[in-house]
Amino acid sequence: MVLNLSGWDNYSETLIDSAGTRIALSIYHAGDGRPCVVFIPGTMTHPLFYDDFLTMLAGAGFNVVGVHPLSHGKSPREKRLFTFADLLQNISDSISYCFEHVSSEIILSGSSQGGILCLAAAGLDSRIKAAFPHNILLPSLKSSIYITRFPHFLKPLTHPLASLMKLIARFAPGLELPPQFYLDFDRVTKSKELQDLFFNDPLSRSNYPLCFLASLFTADLKSISDGSIKCPVIVIASTGDPLFPYSYCLEVYQKIVAPHKEMLVFHEPYHLIFNESPESVIGPVISKLNEFT
């Protein structure tokens, strides 16, 4: 089973310049003058992995622009090595495209790794009207090791391990590591169909260069708590998320400094709530989006 095309009637794709290469955008057109949700996908995936959810957003009257990050999804594989900063640049360039071609009313959202990028970008880009990250992470917290598959007893060594990874990446930046290196996929999803979709979809990546993982686990996200965020932040979380423990999301949430912040909490037993229970979450998400447009 492979996701290649969207089911949305008024769907198109384009390539834009970003971070020294080109990236693809999936555009779900809902109408001129309508606000735009810029969506960032999760680890190694692409917007079409979330097609059902994004189609529902478009059906509710939101233009949706899904970002295929550098060397992900339908973006050309022109640049093999990249970092967390490159993906943040992708988001900025996508917002610039949307301002010119879609709408100046930008809501930024993302899921899992995309949620981490969403919150980081909110502290860097004043054009964002509101940020809706699904899942949040702060690498400076030792409890961030709970998101990984590494043993919890290594919690006191979280920072030294991240520093060691960064050091090794200086000498072997292109060392390719599969997602199973640091993620337990049974915590990502127990759905065999979704696991097969992820691992068999030719648009999904099968590995990350070590330089990216090192930059992710050592990312400087002071902007989350130093007042840099100038827009409302609505954190989407689920109490039953097996990958991002709700208690951890609350810990990060307490660190966020923004003009307005709140949590939109679901009680679903999934990490991939936009994939495994879209019908349950779409109504509250749309209602909350409407409050900020």
Q: What is the CATH number of the domain that holds 279?
A: 3.40.50.1820
Q: Does residue 192 lie within any of the structural domains?
A: no
Q: Is 215 helix (H, G, I), strand (E, B) or coil?
A: helix
Angle (deg, nearest 10), helices 84-101 and 113-122? 70
pLDDT bracket for residue 9 (50, 70, 90): confident
Number of H helices, E strands in the chain: 10, 10
Reported residue count of the chain is 293
Provide the number of structural domains found in the chain.
1
Q: Does residue 250 lie within any of the structural domains?
A: yes
Q: What is the pLDDT of residue 4?
A: 45
Q: What percent of the chain has pLDDT over 90?
A: 90
Q: Does residue 107 lie within any of the structural domains?
A: yes
User: Which of 8-22, 24-38, 112-126, 147-161 has the weakest average pLDDT?
Assistant: 147-161
Q: What percent of the chain has pLDDT over 70?
A: 98
Please answer whether residues 241 and 115 qualify as being in contact, where contact means their C-beta atoms are separated by less than 8 angstroms. no
* Strands 36-40, 63-68: pairing kind: parallel
Q: What is the pLDDT of residue 1?
A: 36
Q: Does residue 93 lie within any of the structural domains?
A: yes
For the chain, give the mean pLDDT: 94
Domain containing residue 83 = 11-139+221-291
Amino acid at position 181, single letter:
F
Q: Does residue 287 lie within any of the structural domains?
A: yes
Q: Is 222 helix (H, G, I), strand (E, B) or coil?
A: helix
Q: Does residue 87 lie within any of the structural domains?
A: yes
Q: Does residue 247 lie within any of the structural domains?
A: yes
Q: Does residue 104 lie within any of the structural domains?
A: yes
Q: What is the pLDDT of residue 5?
A: 62
